Structure 1
Amino acid sequence: MFNKDESPTSFLLVQNLDEDESPSVQIPLSTSRIREREYIQKKGFFYRLSSRTNVFTKYQVRGAELVLIDSLQLSNPNFETFSWKDDAHLLAVSREEIADKKSQARVYQINVKEMKIVKEETIVLPFATQQYWALHVGLVDLDKDDLWLAYSFFKSKGKYGHTTSDTTYYATINYGNFQLKSIQKEVRSTYPGGFNIIQSYSFKDEQGDYYFMTNPGIALGNNIKRPTAIFRKKKDQHLVDEDYMINISESIGNHAYGIWYAGDGKAVIRNEQRTLFKDFSDYHSVYQFEYRLVDLKSGKIEKIPFPLDKGTQKENVWSDRRYVYAAIDDSNDEHRVWKYNLQTKEVSKGIKLPNTTNYTVRLDYLK
């Protein structure tokens, strides 16, 4: 969570998320900057893969402290996405800035137990143009021997910094020799994923099918004429299913950011309300964000009656397949976890966070 007085960011540890529960441990972190929140939690450890530095760090909670265990120097910053190959190996992908406008992605496989780089390779991705040449790598997936990347290109644009081209690309690469096997073009939407070191944009269901979301709204891709949409890549396939698309923007009249699996073919999304913000200058501070449940088979989208939330790019949703939990900062200046019963569709209150809280940006289940 981020505090109102800009004191160091904190982790709160609790035994459960019930309304009468109190935080048992509060751990202040070393930074108060809201952009520095790229923590990855796995098997009792926290990892930090920053988009601004080239240091990969490993931490562990010990008592009321987050203790640095080890660190690893990488070749470059600009990390946008990661995926787990297995419990011991993290795949991390960065975009490389080079002078002649060639589009490059750098892939790392890191053994997090030994904190060693197992593989490291640069991949040149074609289709950059003179106008749109800056690379965004939003998603990575490893399926057997194929490495799959979803990416797009963007350019600088005035006040809001950038805008994205109309096309998404899906590259399939032989993970043994890093040779490019194929590229699939996607013109139904753009800006696949986002910065998933900060927020989730993909998942695999019980059958191993890979679902992901594009994010062309003002807060990420900034190509607002394109729809936010959910797509699918079936297990053991490197081509995205061209017959499958859930057009979120068409259904709800707004863009969305972030997707989390709730089990049994249902997913949660977090959407903006374009009538409630002026432009990106007040976007993060307006109480506008809604939460909706998407049926991945039928495409039906239902609103979850949580209070309106504020803040962009939050990793604040989790589900135990019975409830959906969301950490929300509402207009009453109350900061708490809310619960949605997936069977009864009832909403109830969960744990309330300290009054010093300004934003709650993560909700992690430690296992």
Structure 2
Amino acid sequence: MRALVFLSFFISIFLFSCNQITEQNIDPNFVLCLFNKEETPTSFLLVESLDEHEDVSIQIPLSTSRIGEREYLQKKGSFYRLSDRSSVFTKYQLQGASLIPVDSLQLRNNNIETVSWIDEENLLAVCREDVAEKKSQARVYQINVKEMKIVREDTIILPHATDEFWALHVGLVDFDKGDLWLAYSFFKSKGKYGHTTSDTTYYATINYGNLEIRNVQKETRSTYPGGYNIIQSYSFKDEIGDYYFMTNPGIALGNNVKLPTAIFRKKKGQHLVDATYMINISDAIGNHAYGMWYVGDGKAVIRNEQKNLYTDFSNFHSVYQFEYRVVDLKTGAIEKINFPLDKGTQKENVWSDDQYIYVAIDDSNDEHRVWKYNLKTKEVSKGIKLPNTTNYTVRLDYLK
């Protein structure tokens, strides 16, 4: 039965064909996920370097659907994707110029919101369960990706605060010393924009052995922690193991715009969030932000909107408005990077090394390029230009 499910999913969703831009096989360091013009398939662009004059690359078209192809995980050269239609979790590997399906698992749920790696082989995936009796249930999967088997599958009931806000959003999950740490909030349906989030964030520490809730900490300074991190990053651990995360109450995620986007911290070995630490992004820049990436040396990059440039959510994603800024996590200082304005919501398009920050941007001149920011000199320069068939770049991943 498992083989039939896998075969059906492969045939219907991922009919891969390979279109080599050059005949030379390469050993790629990076993969970019591109939405292509004129409804042509979404594709992976594999490159060895992000430098401006890079020209040895391979492009692999994915399915004909232009929606959902950004939703994959990448770990040590293997790719993992959960189908929204069939709830099949599939593993792929690169072989030459092809992306080959290796194995698959059937899950109960298709709306995985957040994931975290326990180690190199074990993935924690958490989602909410939509239930008629309005119980706030979270389902937790532990998946061994080496053997492609479900090690554990359980349900956690997180009591909701009010009858008005009962729908559960689990935005962040961390695993530390045998305990699960979940950051979550509650939302309700609301008119034109679909939902709005309550004014409170909750942090729950849960014994992973018996799933007993040890404690719940309330946060009222901001709401909607994390987000759909298969698509975009909202948390990281620094060099000493402190865990930083962002709340996202802006119009594109939590839709409780009166509360600020903010960065919080949970120190290494602690389950309680540091009540003395908060970087108020919205207060500093006058806008909300979405996405956060660590670039080393106590600094992170955020991607912020400009509320004077969009009308409402109907054109939020299509307006060239998004800026990138460097946040000093020690002082709270925020500095704008002079990149071209970007468009589009929920992008996983930032990577860094010891010298540069690299960001894949779709600018108002219809140029799709990776831009570079020198961490020492603060100079901006051009990186690799993407194919002319590109109209939208949603991911940039480092494979090595």
Whether TM exceeds 0.5 here: the answer is yes
* Cα offsets for 1:279-318 (capped at 9, x unmatched): 1111111000000000000000000100000000000000
Q: Which residue of 1 aligns with 2:252?
A: 219
| Structure 2 runs not aligned, ≥5 long | 1-33
Q: Which residue of 1 aligns with 2:272?
A: 239
Alpha-carbon distance, 1:33 to partner: 2.2
The answer to whether 1:98 aligns with 2:131 is yes
Q: How does 1:66-215 map to 2 (within 5 A)?
A: 66-215=99-248
1:250 aligns to what SS in structure 2?
helix
**1:227-266 counterparts in 2 under 5 A?**
227-266=260-299
CA distance in structure 1 between the aligned counterparts of 2:283 and 2:337, rounded to whole angstroms: 18
Counterpart amino acid of 1:193?
A: G
2:80 is matched with 47
CA–CA separation in structure 2 for the residues paired with 1:301 and 1:122: 40
Residue 23 of structure 1 deviates from its aligned partner by 4.7
User: Does the alignment pair 1:297 with 2:338?
Assistant: no
Is 1:308 the equivalent of 2:341? yes
Count the aligned residue pairs.
Answer: 367
The separation in 1 between residues aligned to 2:235 and 2:85, in whole angstroms, is 23
Contact kept? 2:245, 2:265, Cα under 8 Å: yes
- CA distance in 1 between counterparts of 2:346 and 2:202 reads 23
Question: Residue 51 and residue 260 in structure 1: after superposition, are their counterparts in 2 closer, same or farther (change >3 A)?
Answer: farther
What is the SS of the residue equivalent to 2:303? strand
Aligned partner (choices 62, 70, 76) of residue 37 of structure 1: 70
Cα distance in 1 for residues equivalent to 2:398 and 2:322? 23
SS of 1:297's partner is: coil
Moved more, 40-49 or 346-355: 40-49
The separation in 1 between residues aligned to 2:50 and 2:113, in whole angstroms, is: 30
* Whole-angstrom CA distance in 2 between matches of 1:205 and 1:310: 28
C-alpha contact 2:172 2:182 (8 A) present in aligned 1? yes
Compute the displacement of 1:31 (Å): 3.8
Q: 1:69-124: CA deviations, max 9, x gaps?
A: 11100122211000000000000001001111010000011000000011111000
Give the secondary-structure state (helix, strand or coil) at the position aligned to 2:397: coil
1:274 equivalent in structure 2: 307
Unaligned runs of 5+ in 1: none
Are 2:358 and 2:370, in contact at CA under 8 Å, matched by a contact in 1? yes
Tell me the equivalent position of 1:322: 355
What TM-score does the superposition give when structure 1 sets the normalisation length?
A: 0.98
Q: CA contact under 8 A between 1:40 and 1:46: conserved in structure 2? A: yes
Q: Tell me how far 1:337 sits from its aligned partner.
A: 0.1
| Structure 1 residue 52, shift from structure 2 partner | 5.3
Provide the secondary structure at the position in 2 that maps to 1:355.
coil
Q: Per-residue deviation at 1:53?
A: 4.2
Aligned residue number for residue 365 of structure 1: 398
- SS of equivalent to 1:159: helix
After superposition, what is the alpha-carbon deviation per residue over 1:157-213, rounded to whole angstroms, capped at 9, x for unaligned? 001000000000001000111111110000000000010011000000000000000
**SS where residue 136 of structure 1 aligns?**
strand
User: Structure 2 CA distance, aligned partners of 1:32 and 1:128?
Assistant: 39
Tell me how far 1:35 sits from its aligned partner.
Answer: 3.3
Q: How does the TM-score come out when normalised to structure 2?
A: 0.90
Identical pairs, percent = 80
SS in 1 for 2:394: coil
**CA–CA distance in structure 2, aligned partners of residues 178 and 321 of structure 1:** 40
Quick check: 1:337–1:351 contact (8 Å CA) kept in 2? Answer: yes
Distance of aligned partners of 1:52 and 1:104 in 2 relative to their CA distance in 1, 3 Å threshold: farther
CA contact (8 A) 1:203 1:210 kept: yes
Q: Does 1:7 align with 2:40?
A: yes
Cα contact 2:42–2:69 (8 A) shared by 1: no
For residues 37 and 56 of structure 2, the distance between their equivalents in structure 1, rounded to whole angstroms, comes to 18
Give the Cα–Cα distance (whole angstroms) in 2 for the partners of residues 50 and 321 of structure 1.
35
In the alignment, what sits opposite 2:91?
58
CA-based RMSD: 1.0
